[in-house]
A and B are shown apart, each in its own frame.
Chain A
Amino acid sequence: MNQLAPNPAALLQRVKLDSDVVAARQMARQLAVELEFSRPDQALVATAVSELARNIVKYAQDGDIEICAVTSGPRVGIRVTARDQGPGLEDIDLAMQDGFSTGNSLGLGLPGTRRIVDEFDISSAPGKGLTVTVTKWR
């Protein structure tokens, strides 16, 4: 397993506006193309980043998305870390349930993202912001 130490080669996108969501998404897709992910997997990576970035805009107003290439033995993948200093989650298990939303949305953002990535890690506490780290292997 790779360390989660800051990666100098990581791409960083500040996320504040809707247009930043698009920028983060394009950045992720670009990296997926460079790493020769299949076209459906490129869309999955882009969608995962899009969901995580949307959550930041919607619930925390300000945060960042870090995208980097990772390797584990012969495997190549993309790791995405979404960080914000927003209100955080009261109940992580509840937030991970399909259809749960405090914001009048479909409630698919977090559980949906978990379904389309290979590794999913979430940490949060009320008032402490939210950090979600996901990895998609090629």
Chain B
Amino acid sequence: MNEVISSTIQSPGEGLREVWGWFDVSQDDRARVADLSPLMEQNIDGILQDYYSRDGGYDHPSDENTSGSMQEVRAQQRRHLLELFDAGLDQKYFEGREAAGIFNESYGISPSFYMGLYTYAINRVCELVQDSCEDAAEAQTVQRSLRKTAACHQALTMEAFSTARTEAIEQRERQLSELPTPVLRLQEGLLLVPVVGTLDSHRSRLLTIQILDAIRDQSARAVVLDITGVAAVDSMVANHLIQTMTATRLMGAYSVLTGISSEVAQALVKIGVTGEALNPAGDLERGVATARKLLET
């Protein structure tokens, strides 16, 4: 078997070659694993059945009761497991790992559950190899090739999982930073704007536009800007607020800033931000009172 190197084994692309290298997976290893493919195809359903129906390991009900998405998960897991034996095929295999990682991430299949299934399946295949090989040394060689390749296979999938997770988080962060801020009408001519989250330049630009539009549409003459919910108030946030409030003033409306804690106020002053431009008024209650007074003048 050692000499039988399948001609279908392609030489790996650059990225994959490096990873095979880390795991010490040679072309021979890949060929040996590919040769196990018929054995695996014969036995995979039995192995998965045993895995899912074991006591204690996996507490989902049997096939009849499983929901559509669970069946989808099982079908994909079967496919991803079979792909391990396609390890000889280069680029398609590599893309398959990426797809598997993204699938696991989006279906919430945790790395531990994923690893559990693989460890179980690989051990079962190793037993089958043991039984089918007459030569113990050869069985060992094949098993070693399979374990190395499987470890690499899992690592690639986990890496894709982690990349997908990071992308999901970044996506959510972008969505969050683009959350619109409500501009509320408190009474005729008086608007309240509660700002929540982080205030970066993109968001503060949106905020400015929103406030200016609202001032125009509602002929507002005073705006209370409440930043109790802004996560990090520093000189950059102060700068954005000053610009927003200056623009408000140019539209003919007064603005009042509320929601700065006393500690943050002291820190801002020490840094060198001056209070005049921000027109701060302590808490929201005092801010609204101040704004009402401005309306009367």
Contacts and interface: CB of A to CB of B under 8 A. Distances in A.
- Please report whether the interface of chain B is mostly helix, strand, loop or mixed according to DSSP: helix
A11 interface: no
Contact of A98 (B173, B270, B272): B272
A21 B272 contact: no
A115 interface: yes
B268 interface: yes
A106 B201 CA distance: 13
Interface residues of A, number: 27
A40 B177 CA distance: 29
Contacts, number: 75
A101 to B, nearest CB: 9
Contacts of A58: 236
Contacts of A105: 235-236, 239
Contacts of B217: none
A81 interface: no
Contacts of A63: none
B235 A109 contact: yes
A39 interface: yes
B265 to A, nearest CB: 9
Contact of B198 (A21, A98, A109, A112): A21
B177 A47 contact: no
B232 A50 contact: yes
A116 interface: yes
Contacts of A112: 235, 270-273
Nearest to B263: A43
Interface in A36-84: 39-40, 42-44, 46-47, 50-51, 54, 58
B266 interface: yes
A39 B262 CA distance: 10
A42 B263 contact: yes
Nearest to B169: A19
B264 interface: yes
Contacts of A87: none
Contacts of B173: 17, 19
B235 A108 contact: yes
Given A50-B234, A98-B272, A18 B177 contact: yes
B34 to A, nearest CB: 40
A30 to B, nearest CB: 14
Contacts of A54: 234-236
B264 A43 contact: yes
B273 A108 contact: yes
B271 A116 contact: yes
Interface in A80-128: 98, 105-106, 108-109, 111-113, 115-116
A32 to B, nearest CB: 11
A22 interface: yes
Contact of B266 (A18, A21, A43, A109): A43
A95 to B, nearest CB: 14
Given A44-B267, A112-B273, 17 more contacts: A18-B200, A19-B198, A21-B232, A25-B231, A40-B266, A42-B263, A43-B264, A46-B267, A50-B234, A51-B271, A105-B239, A106-B242, A108-B272, A109-B236, A112-B272, A115-B272, A116-B271
Interface of A: 17-19, 21-22, 25, 39-40, 42-44, 46-47, 50-51, 54, 58, 98, 105-106, 108-109, 111-113, 115-116
7 contacts: A21-B232, A40-B262, A105-B235, A105-B236, A109-B235, A112-B270, A115-B271
